[in-house]
Structure 1
Amino acid sequence: MVQESRHPFPTVDVPDHAHYIIGSVILAVGITGMVGNFLVMYAFCRSRSLRTPANMFIINLAVTDFLMCITQTPIFFITSMHKRWIFGEKGEL
């Protein structure tokens, strides 16, 4: 008889310091990304000469990257500091 695992994703034992290092690096990269992309968006908004059709691709990338940093950095950082997924079973799938 085959038993189904309650958790669909396998886990690996990782040392505590690895969680803290990865969380700290992600936090630093996320904050740098938020600040850098905000500055790019601010420069495009303030300077009319930068508003060319070709530069719209750059502002599009800056906006999407900014949103990714805003939404994913806190989740990854909190999960790393707690050394487990803290958002429950509904957040797993």
Structure 2
Amino acid sequence: MEAALEAFVALKEVGEPSLGGWWAGLIIGLVVVVVVVLVVSVLLVLAFRINAQARAAARELEAIRSTTKPLVELRRTNDTLQSILRGARTARQALGG
């Protein structure tokens, strides 16, 4: 009991505990939370913009693909014409021309 009384007297001599440290910690914590929220908000806005641009690019690539698809057929046509030309040259040589 005597030890508790001595501890109480020692606490009384120190005085009232200061709450300044608690307020400073609370304010610093709130500032950190606000900064994190702002950074995450900016990142989300940028992510949505990138998503919109990526979707637009995908639409454009699909349009380009559908526009250039006939070029594959052009190669087949070119191969066929080369074959006909070789046949015509062979026929000309066979006829003595």
Fold-level similarity (TM above 0.5):
no
TM-score, with length taken from structure 2: 0.35
Greater relative contact order, per chain length (Cα 8 Å cut-off, separation 6+): 1
Which has the larger share of helix? 2
Structure showing greater Rg: 2
